Every structure is written in structure tokens, then in C-alpha cells.
Structure 1
Amino acid sequence: MTIPLNQAAEFYRALGEHPAADAVILDFDETLWLRNSTEEFLASVRPRWLAAMVLQVLGFIKPWRLLRSGEHYRDWMRVVAVLIVAPWSLWRWRREAARLGPRYLNRSLLEAVRRQHRKSVGVITFGFREIVRPLMDAIDRDLPLTESCSLRHGARLRIRGKAAGLREDIGAERLRRALVVTDSAVDRDLLEASDKGFLVQWPDAHYKQAGLRPLMPFVYLQKVKRPDENYLRNAILGHDLPVLLLSYAVISSKPLVAAGAVLLYVLSFFTAYETGYYENDRLGLLLESKPKVSPNYHSLGRYFSPRFAWSAAIVLAGLSSLLAFESHSWIPDAIGDQGVIGFLAVWAVFVLFLVVMRLLFRWQNVIHPQGRIVPMLGLQVGRVLGYAAILPTTVIGALFCVAHGVSRWIPYLVYRFGGSRKEVPNHVNCFMLLVLFAGAAAIGGDWRDLLTWQSGLIFAYTGARAAKEMLGFGSRLLPLKVRPPESVSEPGRTATSAPADNVDA
């Protein structure tokens, strides 16, 4: 059965002819009330960043998928999770509902119903009674909330459907004679259970998802800048983090503590670095004739807050420095203070490193696209070698960072000059650069500095990743096969018309 949309005129005509004794059933969200009650409640939670953090984490892991009727539990889990961390929110909502209820009321609908059917009207919703009832009290205390979900019963009504709930409430025959109006085809069971079901999308109704402001760290990167790459897993945790652990953490006297510090530093770094990606998109739309910006920028970009990103990055840097200043950083020994001053010095130097990288990113974002290869080299090398500003490393560790950064820069160089970076063998390049750098260091210095167990780990790691990549790239290192004479031709001639003395033997 296909249910036609926007039957407003038909609905009002049927309402005028509807017997006063028969029920009128109004959907609540985006019908009687022109907003979604669950989303408006979640948007009202304060502090806003706390709700945003919970909702975005839930949106990432989607725990409702573990349940049999998963999507039915989505809103219930979101509301309950927010109430766990902000239990005062329902109390605060009562005040907000008194203001929002009349503000988003569908007045034309309610007034039309009141004229003839004040005593036979009922309201039904998949929203939660604890959220919807305060809104209805602010609209009209005499309106009965016939069926709704509740926080206690979770998704029970959503699983059963509105028609099943109303049959128990008013009976199947009374439901069949009732006049029903809703905005959503999800209520197909309800529309089909009534002889007078109307699907109307009201022009002033608006659905706005809550919990997107401010975007949490890495959401912009994952959803907007690199929506198809899983950049956090593949590039940051899969490429940069192993390089940093092998270059800095493994040489610590407390390697596990150092590894934890490195991980937090990485999260801090990219939380601040993300502001450069946001600026790249924003300025690209302003400065470039053919900007490459994800469509998600227009829906999510306005929720990104550079101020929040930097605040979060500085806090993460502080947590990282708590782990690093006593166990691994060279700065406290250099200034002769292992106490609070040493900790603050480590923290301050890392924040200064973030600022320098941000300025370098700014430079890249405002210059000609081909000129960007210069700051990009600094960004790619700096995102791994820059940690040496606070953490000790070795010659092989530093060379590994440079090789990694340059290998990641080469595809960008190729791309900016018209080539395709997708087929550039990054790991093979990294391994070759590392061998070259280590060889040059051995010639120009003490080769024994390179014969360490750390060098063995680094060469084993880079060699393994290069070997894996060679499975696809290795065939390109084999000699070309001699082409048969008939396949060779001069420009402008077909193979069959090429003279014999022009054939490449």
C-alpha cells in the first residue's frame, strides 16, 4: 500500500465531516508539536559538551545494534545515557518545556480539532512520557496522552507499534472509525488500522538532531574531512602511533607508562590538528575556484568549534605530561626540576609545539595549492619528529620519523602535480628511505650507534610492512616482456600498417 503524502486539505475536510463522538488521534512529534521532543530534550541538557560527548560516542559505537530490535532502542539508550551523566536534566526540562511547548505548537491543527472534537481527541507518540507530558501541560492540560513510550518500559511501544497500543486502549472498532493524522510513514500500521488515516508533513515542522555541538575530537576528521578512509584507525593509530612507540616509548625505562603518554599525546595533537582540517575546508570554499569539500561539511561543519578543540587538546596534553614528565621526558632533567615546574615545562613545550604546527597548517591553507608541498613536508615530518621536543629518542628513532614523514609527503607531492597518490607504495618508500638514511648516518658517524635492539625492531617493522605492500607492487619490479612485432606502431599508424624497420625488436 502506498500512502500519499501531504494530505492536509483532505484531512481538514474530513475533520469537518467527522462525527463528534468518534475519536481524533493526533501524532505528537512534528505533527501537533512541530519539533521532535526527544531531540529537543537532549539539546536542552547542560553542560552541552557533556551531552554531546555521550551522544557522539553512542553514535560511534551504536550499542543498540547488539539487541534484537536494535533501532527501536536507539533513542531510549541515548536518553538514559545522558540522564546517567546529567540526572538533573529532567528537572531542568520542566522549565524548558513550559517555554518550548507553546513556541512550537501546531496552532492551526489544534484550533481546528478543538472546534468540534475537544472531548474525543487523543495524542499518541513514540516519544517518552517523561519528556512529552511537560510539553503537553504547557500546551493544554486537558489533552490526554493516550499512548507513549516511557523510560521505564524502554522501546516496548516502538516494537509493538502504535496501532497495537491503541487497540488495547480504545478498541479495534473505535480505532477503525477514528480520524488519524501523523507525519511519518513509520506509522503505517496506525494509518492502515483506521479508515480515515492521513499522512501530512507540516511545512513548519523541523527535525534537528541533538548532540552535535560541539563536535567531539576526531568526529570532523572521520565524518567530514575523510569520511571514506577511517583515518583515525588507518593513518593515526595504524601508521603514526607505531612509529612514535618505536621511536620514543620502547627506549624508556618505563615503556608502558611512556606508551600511555605517547598515545595521549597523539590524541592531543590531532585534536588540535583537526582545526587545520576545518580551516582548510572553510578557506577552500572562500579562496579556491574548485574546492574539494565533502558534502558533510554543509551539514556538520557549523558544529565544529575550534575553541573547544583547542581546550580539549590542551587538557589531553596536560594528562599526557603527567605521565611523561617523571618517567620519560628529558625536559625536567634539563631544567633541574622534577616537581610541578618540571611538569608545567613539559606541558608548555608540547602546547608550543601544537601552536607551531598550527601556524604551519595555516600557512599551507592560504597559499597556492602547488606551493603547499613546502609546508606539507614540515607537517608530515613534524607530526612524528616533533615529539622530540619533549621526549628523548635515538639516531635511528629520529631517522625513522623522518623517513616516515617523507614517505607520507611523497604521495601529496605526486597529487599536487597531477598524478594519482593512491598507488604510491608508502611503506616501500619508507623502508628504502630508512635504509638510505641509516646508511648515510653509518658512513658519516659511528655505525655502532645503529646496531641496537631498537634498530632491529624498527627495521623488522618497516621491512614487514614493505614486504606486505610488495605483494601488490612487486610485479612492477620485474623486467617488461618483449612485445610482439604486430603490437608496435608509430604514432598515427595502426599496428598492421607499421613498416618492418620501425618495429622495436
Structure 2
Amino acid sequence: MSVPRPVIVNHEAAAHGYDTSSAEALAALRLHEGPVLLDLDETLYLRNSTEDFLDSARPGLLALLLLRLLDLLRPWRWSGGETTRDVWRVRLLLTLMPWTGSLWRRRVPALALAHGNTALLETVHLHCREAWIVTAGFEPIVRPLAEALGFDAGRVLASSLHRFEDRRDGKLPRVAAALGDEAVRRSLVLTDSHDDTPLLDACARPLRTVWPGAEFRAALGRVYLPGQYLTQVKRPGERYILRGILQEDFAFWLLASLALAAAPLLHVLGLGALLVSFWAVYEMGYVDNDRVAARYEREPKLSEAFHRAPVATPRLLPWLWAAGAGAAGIFLLRWPAAPLPRDGLAWAATLLATYLWFAFYNRVDKNSRVWLYPGLQLARSIAFVALVPVTIVGMVALAAHVLARWMPYVVYRNGRSNWPEVPFHLLRLVFFALLAAMLAITEGWQPFVSATGAALLAWNLFRARSELAAVLRAAHRIEERR
């Protein structure tokens, strides 16, 4: 049932966006007579209860892998959008790792003691007789935490894990249904969130306060997983693993070598394992790049996430991941034959050379980096060749891939303040065509008139389709515009 929006009582506070200091909020609580509706996360509790619950899951790596898979699938698209994401995350771990609830309840007393908002809790317990916790957090998570903070469980209005609408519709309908419209109109509401504006609009004393010491800590931030730094710190929001690695580098690894594979499925799986191994090491170069920039550059270009450090960046674990994934990749690529010692040595040398080149690149002045950058792109493009043969046309395509990645960097380092809008996919297509034509003149067209050649040309055309169409639309004869 929809609840009508009551008239705003405090027009002056509304005009100022309801923002108030922590001292003013405490003073208002001491004077208010009537219901007090208190947010939990980053207000009464100076962290996020949902994230801390997810952080309780053990083993952490399994939990992180499950959550990352969920982020890839994004089922909340069909349940009301991003506001319902946490419903899926908590449900998933409670279903597949049900012991997480017990682990959470064991952690709650220590978390409440360490992160409870002491000043606010003391004021509420001394002066507020009708205090309620009104939270977007979930009942199984919030109730033990509320009790540890000194509240009766019956005074908690939390979201249900069985209804998406609790998250979708916000707090106002839930509070009005539980306490009544009149109680809402007489209440003081204290929160830190702009999402609670409808509830603030409806109450007598709306207060929005950011508390000293409040922080949002993402779950499982101490658990290392390759790709975390790349997607959350270096290139946040870009879906770079899918668009920049799988659809670019890995696609060319496959297309350049699959025709020579005796067991195509094992070949694909083996190259996938090598990709994980390679990027566990290559990502360390990105971490080092940011750290060097933060230490030595006057105006380093670092994302906001770098300063928040939301992911683990250990020094040893990436090498262990690289070794394990590399061994799995070699095993799959060599099956049914036994891997040879030289395979492991060749891959280890490739990874070590990549790591050292990246470290050298990070410590050279920016103008000189333009000549080292192709080495990094070469490593990304052909590292797998240490173990896997490729066709001639495949090597041409990989060379075009390297050159197309290098050219925007050359432009960027020679006078541009930002990365230029270079049509990368079209540039790669042109390089591929030129290199293929030059090689065909000397070697003949036979290597290019093949399934691999056709597949590489088709993939280049597909990836460049938008850029090619834009160029063709813009092209015209110069005499036509006199």
C-alpha cells in the first residue's frame, strides 16, 4: 500500500539539505520529545553492517570468487536495479556458505565495541525513550548488532532478505507501516544518507550528519584475487577484463594459435590459465606504477580508489597465483603428454622478463617511456608464444595489435594532456591489412587465404565496425563542399 507524502514541517532545514554537524545532531537529540528514528550504518555503527557481514565469510577467497561471479552476472538488473544488489549478495553467501551467519554472530560483540558511535549511543540511551533503528540493512545481520549496541531487537526496523521492495522503495513505506504516519510526522530522523530524503521530508526534525570516524570498507578487501586492482583501482568502472583483455588480447591469442592446436578445447582452457598467470604478474606492474607515481611525481594521475586502498596488493601471492595458473595451463596445453621442465622454465622466464621490464618502465622519465611502452604491449600480446606456436597470419595480427596500442601512447606523450581519441580498432585493422600485404608480396598469399586469416580479418572488422562506419560517413570529396 502506498503511503502519502506528508507535508514538510521543517522548511528551513529542507532548504539547507538537512545537513548538520555531529555536535548539532547530539544537541537536537537531547531536546527532542517524540520518536527518534536512527540510521545504523555509518551512524550508530561507524561501518557498513552488510559489508562487514560479507567480510565474515570463510574461506574468504571462495566468498570473493562467488561475489565476483555475481557481479559479472548482475541479476539485480531484473529485481529493481543496483539498490537490490545487496539482497543477492547476502542471499548467495547464506545459501552456499551458510556457516557465515554463525561467524558473523561471533564477530558482532567485538565489532560493536570497536566501531560503535560512542557519543551518539550514550546520548540516545540517556535522552531518547522512543528510539528506533531504521536501516536498509538486513534483519539477520542487523538484529545481533543492534543488541550488541544496547538496543532491544523489537526496536529494529530492517530490510527483509525475502522482499526486494524493502530496498527498492526505501525506508518511508516500511516505517509508516510499522509506526504510523503520525509517529513519522512527530519524529526526529538522523541519518548520513541522501537515499533517506523521503523519510527526512516526512519528519518533524530531519538531520543528515556525516560522523567523524565513519567509513565504508568493502567486504573481503584483504583477500587477494588477480584482477581486483585492475578493475577497482587502476581502471574502475571500465569492465576492463572483459573489454580490454578478453575481447582484445585473449581473442588474438586464440585466433592466432587455435588452428595449430591438436585438442582445441584443452587449448582454450590452457590459454585461459596462462592468461590468469600472466595478468597476476602484469597487474603487479600497475600497482608498482601507481606507487612510484605517488612517491615521485608532482601531479600523479591516480584514481580516488588508490588512496582508499580497497583491495589487497601483496607481494608474494601474485607469484603463487602465477605459478599455479601457469602450471595448470602448461598441463592442459601438453595433455596427454607430460609437461617438460623447459616449458616451466620458458614460462617463468617470460613472466620474470615482463615484471622486470615493467619495473624498469615505471622508473624511467615519462618522455623516455614512449620507447619502452611497445615492450609492455609485446609482452601482453605474445607472452603465450613461449609455449604455443602461432600461424604466420596470426603473428601479423599480433604485430598489428602491438602497433595499434603503441600509436595512441606516442600521441599522448608528445604534447597531449589526456589520452587522445584515436580509433584503436580501425588503426589495428589498417596495420593488419598493411602488414599482411607487405608479407604477401614476399611470401605469397597462401598463409592469408586460410581459416585463420579469415577469422582474424573478420574479428578485426567486427571490432572496428563502429569506427569504420564513422570514418566512412565523414568521408567526402573536397569539391563537394565549395
Q: Assess if the C-alpha contact under 8 Å between 1:279 and 1:365 holds in 2.
A: yes
Q: Assess if the C-alpha contact under 8 Å between 1:321 and 1:346 holds in 2.
A: yes
> Could you say if the C-alpha distance between residues 102 and 351 of structure 1 is closer, same or farther in structure 2, counting changes exceeding 3 Å?
same
CA distance in structure 1 between the aligned counterparts of 2:283 and 2:24, rounded to whole angstroms? 51
Deviations 1:436-470 (A, max 9, x none): 23434x2xxxx597476356436744884799566
Q: Assess if the C-alpha contact under 8 Å between 1:428 and 1:470 holds in 2.
A: no
Q: TM-score, normalised by structure 2?
A: 0.80
Does residue 158 of structure 2 align to residue 148 of structure 1? yes
452-461 vs 140-149, which deviates more? 452-461
CA distance in structure 2 between the aligned counterparts of 1:405 and 1:345, rounded to whole angstroms? 27
Alignment partner, residue 11 of structure 2: none
- 1:314 is displaced (CA, Å) by 3.1
Alignment partner, residue 252 of structure 1: 261
Question: Which amino acid letter does the alignment assign opposite residue 422 of structure 2?
Answer: K
- 1:276 is displaced (CA, Å) by 1.3
Q: Assess if the C-alpha contact under 8 Å between 1:214 and 1:305 holds in 2.
A: no
- 1:365 is displaced (CA, Å) by 1.6
Does residue 128 of structure 2 align to residue 123 of structure 1? no
CA distance in structure 2 between the aligned counterparts of 1:477 and 1:171, rounded to whole angstroms? 66
Does residue 156 of structure 2 align to residue 135 of structure 1? no
> Could you say if the C-alpha distance between residues 92 and 423 of structure 1 is closer, same or farther in structure 2, counting changes exceeding 3 Å?
closer
Does residue 19 of structure 2 align to residue 5 of structure 1? yes
- 1:91 is displaced (CA, Å) by 0.8
1:250 aligned counterpart, secondary structure: helix
Alignment partner of 1:370 out of 367, 385, 390 = 367
Q: Assess if the C-alpha contact under 8 Å between 1:381 and 1:406 holds in 2.
A: no
Does residue 104 of structure 2 align to residue 93 of structure 1? yes
Bigger RCO of structures 1 and 2 (CA < 8 A, at least 6 apart): 2
> Could you say if the C-alpha distance between residues 25 and 237 of structure 1 is closer, same or farther in structure 2, counting changes exceeding 3 Å?
closer
Q: Assess if the C-alpha contact under 8 Å between 2:256 and 2:452 holds in 1.
A: no
- 1:96 is displaced (CA, Å) by 0.9
CA distance in structure 1 between the aligned counterparts of 2:379 and 2:249, rounded to whole angstroms? 11
CA distance in structure 2 between the aligned counterparts of 1:148 and 1:466, rounded to whole angstroms? 47
CA distance in structure 2 between the aligned counterparts of 1:104 and 1:368, rounded to whole angstroms? 44
1:224-373 map, 5 Å: 224-227=233-236, 230-300=239-309, 303-326=312-335, 338-339=337-338, 342=339, 346-373=343-370
Alignment partner of 1:30 out of 28, 42, 46 = 42
- 1:326 is displaced (CA, Å) by 1.7
Q: Assess if the C-alpha contact under 8 Å between 2:255 and 2:452 holds in 1.
A: no
Alignment partner, residue 53 of structure 1: 65
Does residue 123 of structure 2 align to residue 112 of structure 1? yes
Q: Assess if the C-alpha contact under 8 Å between 2:175 and 2:184 holds in 1.
A: yes
Question: Which amino acid letter does the alignment assign opposite residue 261 of structure 1?
Answer: G
CA distance in structure 1 between the aligned counterparts of 2:149 and 2:428, rounded to whole angstroms? 62
Unaligned runs of at least 5 residues, structure 2 = 1-7, 9-13
Q: Assess if the C-alpha contact under 8 Å between 1:46 and 1:89 holds in 2.
A: yes
85-94 vs 170-179, which deviates more? 170-179
- 1:72 is displaced (CA, Å) by 3.6
2:133 aligned counterpart, secondary structure: strand
Bigger radius of gyration: 1
Unaligned runs of at least 5 residues, structure 1 = 328-337, 485-505
CA distance in structure 2 between the aligned counterparts of 1:157 and 1:301, rounded to whole angstroms? 28
CA distance in structure 2 between the aligned counterparts of 1:24 and 1:472, rounded to whole angstroms? 59
CA distance in structure 2 between the aligned counterparts of 1:183 and 1:382, rounded to whole angstroms? 47
Question: Which amino acid letter does the alignment assign opposite residue 62 of structure 2?
Answer: L
- 1:215 is displaced (CA, Å) by 6.1
Q: Assess if the C-alpha contact under 8 Å between 2:47 and 2:215 holds in 1.
A: yes
Alignment partner, residue 184 of structure 1: 193
2:135 aligned counterpart, secondary structure: strand
Q: TM-score, normalised by structure 1?
A: 0.77
Question: Which amino acid letter does the alignment assign opposite residue 48 of structure 2?
Answer: N
Q: Assess if the C-alpha contact under 8 Å between 1:399 and 1:434 holds in 2.
A: yes
- 1:324 is displaced (CA, Å) by 0.7
Q: Assess if the C-alpha contact under 8 Å between 1:264 and 1:317 holds in 2.
A: yes
| Coordinate RMSD, CA, aligned | 3.8
Alignment partner of 1:391 out of 388, 391, 398 = 388
